[in-house]
Structure 1
Amino acid sequence: MTERTELLVEVDGLTVDFTAGAGGAEDTVRAVDGLSFALAPGRAIALVGESGSGKSTVAGALLGLHRGTGARVGGSVRVAGTDVGGATDRELRALRGAVAAMVFQDPLSSLDPYYAVGDQIAEVYRVHTDAGRRAARARAVEVLDRVGIPDAVRRARSRPHEFSGGMRQRALIAMALACEPRLLIADEPTTALDVTVQAQILDLLHELRQETGMGLLLVTHDVGVAAESVDEVLVMRHGREVESGPVAEVLATPRDAYTRALLAAVPRVDGPVTRTVPAALSATATGTVPAERSAEVEPLIEAVDLRREFRRGRQTVAAVDGVSLTVAPGETLGIVGESGSGKTTLGRMLVRLLDPSAGRLTYRGTEIGAASEKELRPYRRELQMVFQDPVSSLNPRRSVGESVADPLRTAGVLDENAIHARVRELLERVGLDPDRYDRYPHEFSGGQRQRVGIARALAAEPRLIVCDEPVSALDVTTQAQVVALLAELQRELGLALVFIAHDLAVVRQVSDRVAVMRAGRIVEQGTVAQVYGAPADPYTRQLLAAVPVLDPVAAAARREARAALPEAVPGAAREVAVA
């Protein structure tokens, strides 16, 4: 066993209790329950588990972030020899940033939108050192360059909104590195990032650990991310350790049933294809539009040379540039691509939430691309969309039941009693308690809110639902439940689905055919077996190479292969165009 003096992190019997409620009805919730682990310098450990398992609470306890919040922290936490529980405020300030630094999940909530990124990094550096303004600015440029921000001198003067998501995450890592900490705590640092950007961030963390010898505590719900990044893994559930050990051992031969269930829920890009393309769709499997098509393969919706332009100052930018595709009744078409590829814009045009700038859009044989709102009215109920963020698409001041009822009231064919009964039926159908009709969105988990969004889309009795990143921010088990729900509803109701995502493994799991988008265009489309088994376009191969795998040995080999590619060295060059 490693000697006590050599350990960077020592956690022994950690408990964290939060108090909820008011007015004499307070309840105590134990978020972390008797957790113990250790981390040596230069090593990496991942805390893995679903939302609510206590992972982020543990990460916060290492820096004393629960002090002053009303939380009760028990047990012992030592970081680089500092007793975090018994440290003074001054000692904690010295620990944070200079000895241990944290990278949070959402860079936008961690970066001040009013100040240049370089100035924010420089300020952190000055707080923990005696450096002057000029030296601090130079250090900010140095660390931005180190994390792969191109033209770091110029970009240091940019504000956070001028960076892409991946570049903002790099900027947070640069801020954490400014004072050369011995421990880096990364809390879901790649959630909702494109697979290629995620791979770049994970590769960067690996390189930094090798170069500096710092320890890494990685918090993640993605088991594949853990396989790519760490030496050991600790699986958490309900605040407790389920099992822990070397990452290869835990992922290859998990002892606990929960760990096995967690691994089983992870979508894979290898293994057999579970969905098959119906025979009637074979004529359109490549996405081409034949000159003659029999009645049995008539598409539900068809786009031909669809284009959408946006004005940016004096420039015109084509977000979607000449896209042609078809979706048949009962079929799932997956659309994959990185941020800025035009996926969401295309999806919104398919349900006419956005007007095409050019091209033709046909639904059930009728041209709707140029139709007026009055002409679209008969089709509005049949074309629905489930959005990526149910929080922003649900009114926080209205109950979820009322939000689901909106399409029914708009249709005007049911009285209030019938509407209420139908909403309860829909809530139950998507796996929610109908008695929660009067509850508000903030009272539901992320996966439950996504189910509310699906129920609202179903209320209109649609024929086509466009799902825009419906599982991107969910943990793997909740993600698997939502995906299974959509598949079940599709079988029962004969729905056609367009499933938009940056996660290639999820798209493979749910789709009959797949279209790959880049810079507003479809670079490749075909059946799942064709696109994943024998990708024709280099961009598709690049995307597939970046998908995390559960085998740490294979993950290491893929990391070395990415490092050998010229475009992988700077890592962020591609993101400049997206920013």
Structure 2
Amino acid sequence: MSLVDVTGLRVDFGALRAVDGLSFRLEEGAALALVGESGSGKSTVASALLGLHRGTGARVEGSVEVAGTDVQRASDEELRRLRGGRAAMVFQDPLSSLDPYYAIGDQIAEVYRVHTRASRRAARARAVEVLDRVGIPDAARRSRSRPHEFSGGMRQRALIAMALACEPRLLIADEPTTALDVTVQAQVLDLLHTLREETGMGLLLVTHDVGVAAESVDEVLVMRHGRAVEHGPVAGVLGAPAEPYTRELLAAVPRLDAPRKASTAPEEVVLEATGLRREFGRGKRAVTAVDDVSLTLRRGETLGIVGESGSGKTTLGRMLVGLLEPTAGSLAFEGRPHTGVNPAVQMVFQDPVSSLNPRRSVGESIADPLRARGERQERRIRERVGELLERVGLEAGQYDRYPHEFSGGQRQRAGIARALAADPRVIVCDEPVSALDVTTQAHVVALLGELQRELGLALVFVAHDLAVVRQVSDRVAVMRRGRIVEEGPVAEVYESPRDPYTGQLLAAVPALDPEAAARRRARRRELAAA
């Protein structure tokens, strides 16, 4: 009997068919990736395996068997025994999955007690044991920490520990590395691989990142519009895809060895930072987020800034825009000293859901910079916003729609339109594509490049995805612990990194070749053991 056996699965949300006749199997100890764009139905399938659509109003048809349980016919009690016991799920956002008020260890212990009836002491010991198993240092002490006291990578490890508490036969991981930088992503993927080897559990990985799939699984099932497009061994599907859609998906994946953007000729400097420093807190509790950073940005060029989470990238970007005042150092715009917010330097944020007011239409949000510049005629404002919407690939008639009515890629386009409304010379892009699937990501990157060429914009591209940065940048600065450890033309830095930290970042980028991924995983193990 297969660990997972899905036959003719259909899931409807009202008139929308999210999954349409999907069938697949997963054997004991095997690993399968569901890969596709946002809206392809991947996460809906993952939820169906645990019966999470029950009671939501969704209509689910077909046969779903998981670890010997007929999910469609199972009672509520049988589903409770399945969830967390024989099958466990790790979600994309650990902050929304963990209770902010309770210690991590207490939450894991509670899951263990529900399924095993163990004593509080035994459950507590089990929580410490699994936290240690997933690589949380000083697990006994850290088990008393609350979620906000963990980094993003450590929170994801804690979720994996919770999933492992009852030794499940199946682990379902829904976009487990989407918001993580490349080194932490590599650590989480290596952890999943090691746990599979040690426990023999099966893995169903849901991801829009084809590179993540290559690093982690035996088979790949490519989804589009709720249907299976292509299914087979990972080396075959990624190395010699049979279907045009799979080839399109692979072509959109940024690669370290892909053709690079043509470098711009030297132009006048539009933005210069000298000795920037930013501290948070005071006295002994002061934390230095950016430490003595100097850089220049020329008209028409793109400067990529890369580094792990906590390296100071976002803090630097916010200082360049004027949203944060430097503790020390200075900024100059077009050769003149400048402090405070500069309308000529705009920002595109990582999460357009947070940066667009949900109670106001997208058109009104885009119109804010126009009104700030003194425009009062509503007809002219609507005309200009309509032009900007069309310029970024949306429609002028979408002025009155609200952010929740747009897809993730469309919201990011609206964020770009809002930045353009101020007629900037510089745009600082803070992780503008990190939450997008590869095809949407490629469209947004292409849009930024097109706008740059047409308007002569200078771009600062802050990202943890080194492949994307290589694709779009002329020069790159590598940050670590608030400092720039290496800077230069992108080809030089990527092909001949001088700093060992840069080499570590490059070595952590997922490879589309499963054999190369295995070699790099082995190499990371050797370095970790040394």
CA contact (8 A) 2:258 2:471 kept: no
1:79 aligns to 2:66 (yes or no):
yes
- 1:89 is displaced (CA, Å) by 0.9
Change (3 A) 1:334 1:116: same
Q: Deviations over 1:122-176 (max 9, x none)?
A: 0000000021000000000000000000000000000000000000000000000
Q: Give the Cα separation in 1 of the matches to 2:212 and 2:239.
A: 15
Query: How much does 1:335 deviate?
Result: 0.3
Please point out which of 276, 285, 289 is paired with 2:262: 276
Give 1:99's aligned residue: 86
Deviation sequence 1:403-439 (CA, Å, 0-9, x none): 1011011111462211110000000000001111100
* Alignment-derived partner of residue 315 in structure 1: 285
* Residue deviations 1:307-362 (CA, integer Å, cap 9, x gap): 11111674221111000110000110000011111111111111111111111211
Pick the aligned partner of 2:330 from 341, 360, 366: 360
- Shift, 1:271, TM fit: 3.4
Deviation digits for residues 456-487 of structure 1 (CA, Å, limit 9, x no counterpart): 00011000000000001000000000000000
1:489 is aligned to: 451
- Post-superposition Cα deviations, 1:352-391, rounded to whole Å, max 9, x if no partner, equal 11111111211111111xx3x5xx6xxx221101111111
- For 1:199, the equivalent position in structure 2 comes to 186
Q: What's the C-alpha RMSD, in Å, of the aligned pairs? A: 1.1
- Paired residue for 2:319, among 341, 349, 354? 349
TM-score, reference length from structure 2: 0.99
Cα contact 2:312–2:480 (8 A) shared by 1: yes
Mapping of residues 53-452 of structure 1, within 5 Å: 53-273=40-260, 275-280=261-266, 297-311=267-281, 314-368=284-338, 371=339, 380-413=342-375, 415-452=377-414
Q: Is the 8 A contact 2:362 2:414 kept in 1?
A: yes
Give the Cα–Cα distance (whole angstroms) in 2 for the partners of residues 448 and 189 of structure 1.
23
Distance of 2:265 and 2:348 partners within structure 1: 28
Q: Secondary structure at the match of 2:427?
A: strand
Q: Name the CA distance, whole Å, in 1 between partners of 2:386 and 2:117.
A: 63
- 1:29-67 per-residue CA deviation (whole Å, 9 max, x = no partner) reads 111000000000110000000011000000011101111
2:9 paired with 1:14: yes
Contact 2:288 2:482 (C-alpha < 8 Å) held by counterparts: yes
Q: Distance in 2 between matches of 1:318 and 1:8?
A: 50
Instruction: For residue 77 of structure 1, give the secondary structure of its aligned residue in structure 2.
Output: strand
Whole-angstrom distance in 2 between the partners of 1:91 and 1:257: 42
- For 1:358 and 1:543, how far apart are their aligned partners in 2? 29
Q: d(CA) in 2 for partners of 1:313 and 1:395?
A: 36
Deviation at 1:270, TM superposition (A): 1.4
Distance in 1 between the 2:403 and 2:11 partners? 26
Mean CA deviation greater in 411-420 or 246-255 = 411-420
- Give the secondary-structure state (helix, strand or coil) at the position aligned to 1:90: helix
Quickly say closer, same or farther: Cα 1:313–1:189, change in 2 above 3 A. farther
In 2, the alpha carbon distance for the partners of 1:360 and 1:412 equals 29
Provide the rounded CA distance (Å) in 1 between the counterparts of 2:282 and 2:4. 49
Q: Tell me, what secondary structure is at the counterpart of 1:565? A: helix
How far apart, in 2, do the equivalents of 1:52 and 1:494 lie?
35
Identify unmatched segments of 5+ residues in structure 1.
Answer: 20-27, 281-296, 570-579
Conservation of the 8 A alpha-carbon contact between 2:349 and 2:429: yes
Is the contact made by 2:35 and 2:221 (CA closer than 8 Å) also made in structure 1?
Answer: yes
AA aligned opposite 2:80? R
TM-score by length of 1: 0.90
Whether 1:48 aligns to 2:35 is yes
The percent of aligned pairs where both chains have the same amino acid is: 78
The one-letter amino acid paired with 2:310 is G
**In 2: Cα distance, 1:401 partner to 1:175 partner:** 43
Cα distance in 2 for partners of 1:545, 1:314 equals: 36
Q: State the AA in 2 paired with 1:319.
A: A
CA contact (8 A) 2:207 2:213 kept: yes
SS at match of 1:57: helix
Amino acid at match of 1:310: F
1:233 Cα deviation after fit:
0.3
* Cα distance in 2 between the residues matched to 1:78 and 1:276: 52
* Amino acid across the alignment from 2:18: A
Distance 2:147 2:170 in 1: 25
- Which ranges of 4 or more aligned residues in structure 1 deviate by more than 6 Å? none
Within 5 A, what are the aligned runs for 1:517-528?
Answer: 517-528=479-490
Residue type at the aligned position of 1:349 = M
Distance in 2, matches of 1:58 and 1:278, equals: 46
Contact map agreement 2:259 2:471 (CA 8 A) in 1: no
- Number of the residue aligned with 1:554: 516
**Is 2:501 aligned against 1:539?**
yes
State the secondary structure of the residue aligned to 1:92: helix
**Would you say the 8 A contact 2:84–2:166 is kept in 1?**
yes
Q: Distance in 2 between matches of 1:476 and 1:467?
A: 17
Deviates further, 480-489 or 79-88: 79-88
1:240-261 CA-to-partner distances (Å, cap 9, x unmatched) read 0001000000001111111000
User: Which stretches in structure 2 are left out of the alignment for 5+ residues?
Assistant: none
1:506 aligns with 2:457: no
Q: Distance in 2 between matches of 1:510 and 1:215?
A: 38
Q: Distance in 2 between matches of 1:313 and 1:129?
A: 48
